[in-house]
Structure 1
Amino acid sequence: MAFFQRGLRLAVLCSSFITGTALSASTIHDDFIAAEKVAKSGNKKRYQQTLSELEHPLKPYVEMAYLEKYPYLNNEPDIKRFLDVYEGTPLSWKVRESWLENLARLNKKAKFIEYFKDTSNSELTCLNLRYQLDLGAPSAAVLKQVTPLWVVEKSQPKACDSLFRKWQKQGYLTPERVWQRLTLVAQKGQHSLIPYLKTQLPKQEQYLADLYYAVRKDPSAAAGLYRFKQYTVKESEIVVYGLKRLIWRDPDLALRAWDKHLEKMPFSEAQKESVYYSFALSLASKQHKEAKFWLNKVPKDQHDKSLKQWQLTNLLQQSDWPGIVAYFIDKELDNSQQYWLAYALKEQGKEAESEAMFQALAQKRDYYGFLAAARLQLPVSLQEQPIVVDDAVKQSVAQAPGYLRAKAFFELERFTSARREWNYLVNTSTEEEKLAAALLAHEMDWHDSVIITLAQIERYHHLDLRFPLAYESLFERYSKRSNIDVSWSYAIARRESSFSPTASSSAGAYGLMQLLPSTASYINKGSISRRKLYDPKLNIRLGTNYLKYLKRKAKGNEVVATASYNAGYHRVAKWLPKEGVDFDLWVEGIPYRETRDYVKNVYAYRQVYHTRFGKNENLFTDLVKMKIQK
C-alpha cells in the first residue's frame, strides 16, 4: 500500500483523513475539485503544475480525468505508466477504453492489440479480433473466438459486421448456431432480430422463426396444435417455452394444451421435468386445484427452495399436518421448514417433539426464531456480539489508498465512485481487514456499506453495526408525529435501503424509505420530484406518513400495512381472506415471494430495533394470536 503514497505531505494528509485533524476536509476537497477542473481544461502545462503540487487521496483521479479526455499519442508514456500502476482498480478502465478508442480512430492496429484487455465492450473486442486478422494472425485461432460474439440475444455493433462476414465465409455460421441464437433471441432477447435470423435458417425450417415470433408475442399461440405440423424436436422446444409462460397467464388453457401436445411431440425427459416444475410452481402459487398433482410430478431432487415453499404452502392451506410431517421429517431443514414441522407435530398432538423443535429454533435470531420463542412464551434471543478488531489492522486499513479514496468520494457525495472504490477495497482484503473497514465505515455513518460488507463475511452478530440508529432524531420525530412505532419505521428503512439516502430501485422508488414520486406527491398533497426524495428529512417525513396512511387503510393492522408498503394496498386487499387466518399462516401463503419475504424481514428487523430501544418484550407474542382477514 505504501507504493501509492507519495511523500511526507501526503502522509500528513492521510493522517488528517483518519483523525479529522490538521487539515479541514473542505479545504482538502476544494483543492481536488480545482485540480480536476484544470485537468479537464486541456492546458497541459497548467495541469502538470497543478498535479505536482496536489497532495490528496484522489490525486490519481485528476490524472485519470486528464488522460481519459486527452488520450493523445504524445501522452502514451503517461497512459502506459498509469495503466501499469492502477491496473485492476476502478481507475484503469476509463483511461484504457478512451485510449483504445483513439487508437482505433487513428488506425493504430498493432498498438491497439498491445493495449487491449478482455472486456464486455463488444465493439472493442471485435476491433481487437479484426486487427489481429489484418496483421496476419492465424484465422482459425481468431475466428473461433467470434462464435460467442455472434451467438447472443442482441444486436452487436457495426464494428463487428466485417468480422462476422469473414466468420460466415469460413463456414462457422451453421444451422445449429443459427437455431441456438434464435432460441436466445426469442426466449429472452431482442425479438426484432427474429426476421433476420429467419433468413439464416434452411428454407424448410424458416417457419420455426415465425412460430417462435408468434409465441414470444403471445404464449397462447403455443396452445394451437394447428401451428405445429412436423412434431420435431425443435417444435417441441417452442411448445415448452410457450407453455411455461402460458401457465402463469391462463393455467387451464396451458393444462389442456399440454395434454394434447404430449400425445404428439417428442418431448425429452428433461423437457417434461422442466414443464412439471413450472406448472407446479405456478399452480401452487395460484392455489389451483391441480397444484398438488403437479407438485408430486416434480422429481424430489428438483425440489429447490421455491418449490419446497409452495409445497409447504399448499399443504398448509389444506391443513394437511400428516403431509407436512411426511414431507419434512428426517430431512435437513431450514428455519422455515423446522418451524412448520414443529407446528404440524403440535397439531397432531405430538407435544414433546414439537416443543423440542421450537426450543431449538427459539435460539435463532430471525423471523421463525422469534415466532418459536413467542409460542413458548420466551424472550427473543439476539445472540449479539461486540465487534473486535485489532488496532493495527484497523490503522492499516485506515491508511490504505483505496479506503482514503472511498472516504473522500463519500464526503464529496459522489456515491457511485465511492461505491466502486469501496468494492475494490473489500474485494482485495482479508476477512479481518473487511471487518476493520466495516467498523471504519460505521464511524463515518456509511451504513449501507457496513451492512453489505458484514453480510459478505457472514458476521451477523454485530447488531449495533448491522442495525444502526441512523438519522435517529428524524425517525423519532416523524414516527411520533405520524403516531407509529419508531421500530416499525426503522425496520422498513433498513429493509428498503439499508439507510442509503441515495438508494434507487428499478421500479422507480427513491431514498431512505424507497418512495415512488407519485406516492410521495399523493402523501404530500403536492408534487415531489425524484431529486427531493434523496433528502433524508423529507423522505422520512413522507415515508412515516405513508405508513400511517396504509395503517389506516388496513383498519389498524400493521402486518397488512407492511405488506402493502411493498406490494400496494389494493393488491394485498385481494389476498385477505373472508374468514380470519392465523398471522403466520397468512404470511406463509402470500402469493408474491418478494412480499412474503419482505413482511418476514421487516418484522424480524422490527423486533431487533424494539430490543435495541430497551424494550424486552417479544413482539411476536401478540402476532401469534392475531387473525388476518378482510
Structure 2
Amino acid sequence: MKFHARLTPLALGLALSLSAFAQNGDMAFLTARDAFRAGNLNKLEQAIGQLGNHELTPYAENYRLRMWMDKGDPGNLRDFLQRYEGSYVAEKLRADWIRWLGKRSAWNEVDAEFPRLLAPEPDVSCYSQQARLARDDRSVLAEAEKQWLTMLEPPEPCRPIFDALVASQKMSTDDVWARARRQVEANRPGWVRTTLNYLPDSQMPDNRQLDNALSSAMGYLIKQGTGNGSRAGRELAAFAIARVAANDPRTAADELERLKGKLHDSERQWAWSQIALQAAKKHAPEAVGWYNQAGKTPLSEDAAQWKVRAALRAQEWGVVRNTIEAMPAELAAKPEWIYWLGRALHAGGRTSEGNALFEKIAGQPNFYGNLADEELGHTVLPPPKAKAPTAEEQRVARDNPGIRRALAFFRNDMRTEAVKEWNWSLRGMDDRELLAAADLAKRNQIWDRAINTADRTKNEHDYTLRFLAPYGETVRPAAQNQSLDDAWVYGLMRQESRFITNAKSNVGASGLMQLMPATAKWVARKIGLRDFSHGRVNDTETNVLLGTTYMRLVMENLDNHPVLASAAYNAGPGRARKWRADRPLEGAIYAETIPFSETRDYVKKVMSNAVYYSAIFNGKPDSLKARLGTIGARTADVPKDSDLP
C-alpha cells in the first residue's frame, strides 16, 4: 500500500494492468505445460492462443513442436530454431530433434543439425558419432579410445561406438579387462558383464562365477580362489579382493597375501591398488605401504588423488611430490594439486620452485588460492569494488530475453527451469554485463543467481554481490546470541542454501540452514521451543534459530573447532570425529582428506567463504590458515551431547 501511495493514478493503473497481464499469461503458460504433460494437443493449442507475447511463449511453442515431431514435417521446427537461434529453448529442442533423428538412423539430418548445438550432451554427441561412422569417418574410433577408461556408464547411443571400436580390433583383451577393472573400482558391477562381453567367447568368465565374485566376494575367494588359474579366474579373484577391500581393506590384504603367488604381476598390483585406495579413504595407516606394493599399475584419477591424500596424512612429502608429478596434466593442474605439490617442494627445500607454483593460483578466490596467497606472504582481501552498473547496463540486463524468461520461471516457482535459462543467458557476457545481471538478481531477491553470476567476473568484481549477506536483521543477532562468528555462519549458509529460504535438498534438509527433520526436532526439544512442527522449519527466524543453535552445540562437542564443526554440519558429528588422526593434523590436510567428496568440497568452501565475509564485515584481512589451525588427535572422550544428531 505504501508503494501504491507514491504512484500517480495513471502510473498505478498501468502497474496494475501489467501485473494482471503477467498473471493471465502465467496461468495460460501453466495450462500449456499441464496440457503437454497430459498429451492434450487441443488444450495446448488453446493455451498458446492466450499467451500472446508472454516471456514463456517460446516454451509453449516448444511443447507443441515436440508433440508434432512424430509427424515428420520439420518445416515448423526449423522455423522455430531459426527464430530463437542461440537460446536455451532452441538448444533443448534441437537436442531432442537430434535424438529423434538418431533413433531413426536419419544420419544426414543428424550431421546437418549437430554442429549448430552449442553445448551438446553426451548422448547427443554419440548420435553425431554414429552419423560419422555411417559415412565411414574413422576418427570417431580415436575419440572412443580416449573415453574407454572414463565413460564407464555410456548412454545407450554411445554403446554402438564402443561396439565399433572393439570390432575394429583396436582394443586388446588387456584393454577389455582394464575397462572392467575401472568399473569394479567405480562400484559399477552391472556394467562389468557388459564390458566382458567384448572378450572372445573362449576367454569369457562363467556368468555365475562373475556374479559371485562381485556380490559374494569373500565366499567366492574361499571357495574358488583363482579358479583354474586362467586369465578369467585370476581376474575374478582380483575383482573379489577389490570388493572385499571396500568394506575391510585389512581382510582383503590377508586374502591377497594368501593368493598372490597364483596371480600375475598385473592382477596382483592392481589388487593392491584397490586395497590401498579403500584404505586411504578409511584413513588406515597402511595405505601408503599398500600403494607402494601396487608398483607401476595404472591408477585411475580417483586412486591417484587418494594416494596423495594418504601421503599427506602420513607426512610422506616425497610420495606427495612423485604422485602429483605423475598425474595426467589436466588433473595435476587443479588448484589443490598445484598447492600440495608446492608444499611438497617446500618440504624438500625447493622453496623457489614451490613459490612459483603458489604464484600460479595465488589470487584465486578459493580455498587453495587463499592458502597460496598466505604461503607467499600475501593477505586475503576482496579486490577493489567495480563501479555500480549504469542505468543503461541495467536496462540491457532487464531486456535480455533469456533473463526475462528466467524471471518468469522464478515468478512461477519453476526454479529448475529458471536456473537453466538464467545460466544459459550468461554465456558470452563480459564483466559489466555479468555485474548488471547479478545486480538485477539481487534486486529481485534471487540471491543464489546474484552470487553465482557475480562469481563469473574475470577482471571487474563486486564481492558484496559474490558474498551477499541477506537476512542480517535475523542472522547476525542469532549468531551473536550463540557466541558464533557471524562470518562463519554466513559462510556456511552461503554454501548450504545460497540463501534460498525454501531450499530443500534431495535428502530432505530444509531452509536457509538446510536442517534435516530429525535435527530440527532434536534442537527444538533441546531448547524447549514450544509448538514446533516441521512445517515451521522454512520460517526464516525459526530456521536460523535452530541452525545457529545446532552450530553452537556442534562446536562445543568438537573442540570449538570450525573445521570439525563444518564437517559435522554436513556429514554428522560422529564422522567428523572419526576423520581425525591419531596425532594432531594440519587443518588443511584434514579438509583435503575428508572421505566424502561432497563434504570435502563443502568444508573448503565454507572456510574460504568465512574469510571473505570477515574481510567484508570488518574491513580488514583475515587468515584462512589461522581459521584452519590444527585438528586435535582422535580421543576416546565421550562427547558432551552423546545423542547430538
TM-score (norm 1): 0.68
Q: Deviations over 1:65-113 (max 9, x none)?
A: 5555677959986555334434664434776799999999xx9999998
Answer yes or no: is the 8 Å Cα contact 1:365–1:382 preserved in 2: no
Q: Deviations over 1:315-357 (max 9, x none)?
A: 27xxx8x98899999x997334545765787xxxx99999999
Matches within 5 A, 1:526-545: 536-545=540-549
Say if 1:450 and 1:47 are closer, same or farther in 2 by CA, change over 3 A.
closer
Matches within 5 A, 1:139-538: 207-220=205-218, 223-224=221-222, 226-268=224-266, 274-275=270-271, 277-296=273-292, 304-315=304-315, 334-338=338-342, 367=367, 380-387=379-386, 395-427=395-427, 429=429, 433-434=433-434, 436-455=436-455, 462-501=462-501, 503-525=503-525, 536-538=540-542
Q: Deviations over 1:18-53 (max 9, x none)?
A: xx99646743430322332564483588546524xx
Query: What is the CA distance between 1:240 and its match in structure 2?
Result: 3.8
Answer yes or no: is the 8 Å Cα contact 1:187–1:216 preserved in 2: no
Say if 1:26 and 1:614 are closer, same or farther in 2 by CA, change over 3 A.
farther
**2: CA distance, partners of 1:352 / 1:154:** 44
Task: Determine helix, strand or coil for the equivalent of 2:55.
Answer: coil
The equivalent of 1:552 in structure 2 is 556
Which sits farther off after the overlay, 257-266 or 36-45? 36-45
Query: What is the CA distance between 1:415 and its match in structure 2?
Result: 0.9
**2: CA distance, partners of 1:574 / 1:429:** 45
Task: Determine helix, strand or coil for the equivalent of 1:263.
Answer: helix
Say if 1:179 and 1:338 are closer, same or farther in 2 by CA, change over 3 A.
closer
**1: CA distance, partners of 2:182 / 2:367:** 40
Say if 1:491 and 1:109 are closer, same or farther in 2 by CA, change over 3 A.
closer
Which sits farther off after the overlay, 546-555 or 281-290? 281-290
RMSD: 6.0
Query: What is the CA distance between 1:409 and its match in structure 2?
Result: 1.7
Say if 1:626 and 1:30 are closer, same or farther in 2 by CA, change over 3 A.
same
Which sits farther off after the overlay, 469-478 or 238-247? 238-247
Task: Determine helix, strand or coil for the equivalent of 1:91.
Answer: helix
Query: What is the CA distance between 1:621 and its match in structure 2?
Result: 4.6
Q: Identify which of 26, 29, 38 aligns with 1:36.
A: 29
Task: Determine helix, strand or coil for the equivalent of 2:514.
Answer: coil
Matched, 1:50 2:50: yes
Say if 1:341 and 1:501 are closer, same or farther in 2 by CA, change over 3 A.
farther
Which sits farther off after the overlay, 186-195 or 272-281? 186-195
Query: What is the CA distance between 1:605 and its match in structure 2?
Result: 1.7
Answer yes or no: is the 8 Å Cα contact 1:482–1:544 preserved in 2: yes
Answer yes or no: is the 8 Å Cα contact 1:223–1:254 preserved in 2: no
Letter in 2 for 1:521: K
Say if 1:229 and 1:305 are closer, same or farther in 2 by CA, change over 3 A.
closer
Letter in 2 for 1:293: G
Answer yes or no: is the 8 Å Cα contact 2:482–2:549 preserved in 1: yes
Matches within 5 A, 1:108-123: none
Q: Any stretches of 5+ residues in structure 2 without a counterpart?
A: 1-11, 115-119, 326-331, 526-530, 636-645
**Count of equivalent residues:** 576
Letter in 2 for 1:294: W
**2: CA distance, partners of 1:100 / 1:625:** 54
Q: Deviations over 1:341-388 (max 9, x none)?
A: 65787xxxx999999999999977655676789899x89431423235
**1: CA distance, partners of 2:227 / 2:321:** 47
Answer yes or no: is the 8 Å Cα contact 2:180–2:195 preserved in 1: yes
Answer yes or no: is the 8 Å Cα contact 2:227–2:234 preserved in 1: no
Task: Determine helix, strand or coil for the equivalent of 1:308.
Answer: helix
**2: CA distance, partners of 1:201 / 1:341:** 45
Say if 1:572 and 1:357 are closer, same or farther in 2 by CA, change over 3 A.
same
The equivalent of 1:11 in structure 2 is none
**2: CA distance, partners of 1:379 / 1:180:** 46
How many percent identity over aligned positions?
23
Say if 1:466 and 1:44 are closer, same or farther in 2 by CA, change over 3 A.
closer
Answer yes or no: is the 8 Å Cα contact 1:284–1:291 preserved in 2: yes
The equivalent of 1:603 in structure 2 is 607
Letter in 2 for 1:606: A
**1: CA distance, partners of 2:104 / 2:351:** 79
Query: What is the CA distance between 1:202 and its match in structure 2?
Result: 7.7
The equivalent of 1:8 in structure 2 is none
Which sits farther off after the overlay, 603-612 or 552-561? 552-561
Answer yes or no: is the 8 Å Cα contact 1:185–1:191 preserved in 2: yes
Query: What is the CA distance between 1:486 and its match in structure 2?
Result: 1.8
The equivalent of 1:7 in structure 2 is none
Task: Determine helix, strand or coil for the equivalent of 1:509.
Answer: coil
Say if 1:343 and 1:447 are closer, same or farther in 2 by CA, change over 3 A.
farther
Say if 1:536 and 1:222 are closer, same or farther in 2 by CA, change over 3 A.
farther
The equivalent of 2:566 in structure 1 is 562
Letter in 2 for 1:551: M
Q: Whose Rg is larger?
A: 1
Q: Deviations over 1:538-577 (max 9, x none)?
A: 4333322221231233364444322211221122233456
Query: What is the CA distance between 1:418 and its match in structure 2?
Result: 0.8
**2: CA distance, partners of 1:615 / 1:445:** 25
Q: Any stretches of 5+ residues in structure 1 without a counterpart?
A: 1-19, 133-137
Which sits farther off after the overlay, 286-295 or 582-591? 582-591
TM-score (norm 2): 0.67
Answer yes or no: is the 8 Å Cα contact 2:478–2:545 preserved in 1: yes
